[in-house]
Amino acid sequence: MNETPKKYGRVAYYPGCALEGSGHAYNCSTQEVGKVLGLELVEVDNWNCCGAMEVKNVDPKLQTYLSSRVMSIAANEMGFDTVMAPCNGCYHNLKKAEYDLEHDPETVAVVERISSKAGHETYKSGQVETIHALDWIKEGIGEEGLKARVKNSLKGIRVANYYGCMYTRPRHIFPEKDQGPGSESTLQPHFMDDLLAAAGAENVDFPLKTACCGGAHTLSDSDMSTKLVMNILRAAEASGADVVATECPTCHSGLEMHQVRGEKRFGFKSKVKILYFTQLLGLALGVKPKPLGVHENISDSMDFLKSKGLA
């Protein structure tokens, strides 16, 4: 239907564990948006967990090995030079692995050793470029391209764009960010703002874009996470937002979970809805809520979307 865009037209897709569980809706909506935009996703064959925060806490070099195996399969067995990871955690870990393998000989030695024992080719830094779902659409389609394809404008929806921690911190593992006009900023990220604005949404001035939701201790230190989430949701409402747009399954389920927990434990009241940015983009591109997994969200936004003529 649409011509295949030059950049990121066909990339290796690494959904990661969360997108097969609690982040199922993010997985569906990402794939739906890809389909409509003519961006082809080929899932990394027989992938494994990227190591997440937890394996890093046991041993950072093991986390690097786990992430490197995913990139090795994409590069050496499937011939891809780009891996797209929509989950902030996976994206961060693949980027971190790339950085460590380029700069730390000890890490390289550990990865070589485990890779050869595990019987697959060792990943070498530079073989693939890891991108986030935001880069994928922003660079692959761009705002103009997106505007041209919008069927139902998100007009009248006020959005607080929430990026979380892992998308921008620490700066050194994202060498392509902070490179002047057009590039993503680590202090004031704007790719999600740009895409949703192109789809017609009104972005509010939201000060907690890169605040932490406490995702790492969501179950082991729940009170802390609930406090952090209440801060984020309160700030979003104070900024006038109807919706918090997310781009990470851990942030998303953290916000949803602690919105409920805050209600139950701290009498916290909030009306703000929580939606993945891919769900919002999908709606704008004319996809129905169901294939985008909107009904799977705990934060029930159906009535709100109906009132805006989007469902």
Partner 1 sequence: MPIHEKSLIRQENLIEHEKLEIDGIDVSGHWSTFIQTRVVTDYNEDMETEVAALPGGEHIHRCWQCGSCTNACTVNAINPDFNPRYWIYLTRIGMEAELLRDKDIIWQCISCNKCTYACPRDVNPEGVMKALSHWLELKGHTEKSPSMHFDEVFSEQVFQTGKIEEGRTIRRFFARTGQELNQDWLVEMIIRMVRHLPVKLLFAMGLQSVLKPRTRGWGKARDAIHEYVAEKDAEHRKALKLDPPHGPA
Site for partner 1 in 33-92 (CB under 8 A): 46-49, 51-55, 57-62, 65-66, 69
Count helices and strands in the chain by DSSP H and E runs: 12, 8
Q: Applying CB under 8 A, does 216 fall inside the site for partner 1? A: yes
**How far is it, in rounded angstroms, from Cα 126 to Cα 157?**
41
Q: Applying CB under 8 A, does 221 fall inside the site for partner 1? A: yes
Q: Applying CB under 8 A, does 139 fall inside the site for partner 1? A: no
* Residue nearer to partner 1 on the CB measure, 15 or 140: 15
| Neighbouring residues of 28: CB distance < 8 A, sequence distance ≥ 6 | 291, 292, 293
> Binding partner 1 by CB under 8 A: which of 195, 257, 272, 281?
257
CA-based nearest residue to 91, from 143, 165, 160, 161: 165
**How far is it, in rounded angstroms, from Cα 293 to Cα 279?**
8
Give rounded-to-5 percent helix, strand, coil for the chain: 50, 10, 40
**How far is it, in rounded angstroms, from Cα 31 to Cα 137?**
12
Q: Applying CB under 8 A, does 170 fall inside the site for partner 1? A: yes
Instruction: Give the sheet arrangement for strand 82-85, strand by strand.
Output: 40-43, 10-13, 82-85, 129-132
* Residue nearer to partner 1 on the CB measure, 6 or 271: 271
* Residue nearer to partner 1 on the CB measure, 195 or 228: 228
> Binding partner 1 by CB under 8 A: which of 124, 147, 155, 217?
217
> Binding partner 1 by CB under 8 A: which of 10, 151, 295, 306?
295
Q: How far is the CB of 149 from partner 1 (least distance, A)?
A: 28
Scanning 138-146, 154-162, 189-197, 209-217 for contacts with partner 1 by CB under 8 A, the matching segment is 209-217
Look up residue 258 and give its two tokens: 């602690």
CA-CA distances (angstroms) from residue 72 to 78, 119, 124, 173, 269?
Answer: 9, 12, 8, 19, 47
Site for partner 1 in 4-33 (CB under 8 A): 17-18, 20-22, 24
> Binding partner 1 by CB under 8 A: which of 117, 144, 181, 205?
117
Could you give phi then psi for residue 208, rounded to 5 degrees?
Answer: -105, 35
* Residue nearer to partner 1 on the CB measure, 56 or 138: 56
Give the angle subtended at the CA of 191 by the CAs of 63 and 207, to the nearest 5°.
90
Q: Applying CB under 8 A, does 298 fall inside the site for partner 1? A: yes
CA-based nearest residue to 201, from 159, 145, 151: 159
Q: How far is the CB of 16 from partner 1 (least distance, A)?
A: 9
* Residue nearer to partner 1 on the CB measure, 49 or 196: 49
Scanning 33-41, 75-83, 151-159, 168-176 for contacts with partner 1 by CB under 8 A, the matching segment is 168-176
Q: How far is the CB of 259 from partner 1 (least distance, A)?
A: 9
**How far is it, in rounded angstroms, from Cα 23 to Cα 34?**
17
**How far is it, in rounded angstroms, from Cα 92 to Cα 168?**
8
Question: Rule CB under 8 A: which residues touch partner 1?
Answer: 17-18, 20-22, 24, 46-49, 51-55, 57-62, 65-66, 69, 110, 113-114, 117-119, 165-166, 168-171, 186, 211-212, 214, 216-217, 219-221, 224, 227-228, 256-257, 260-261, 263-265, 295-296, 298, 300, 302
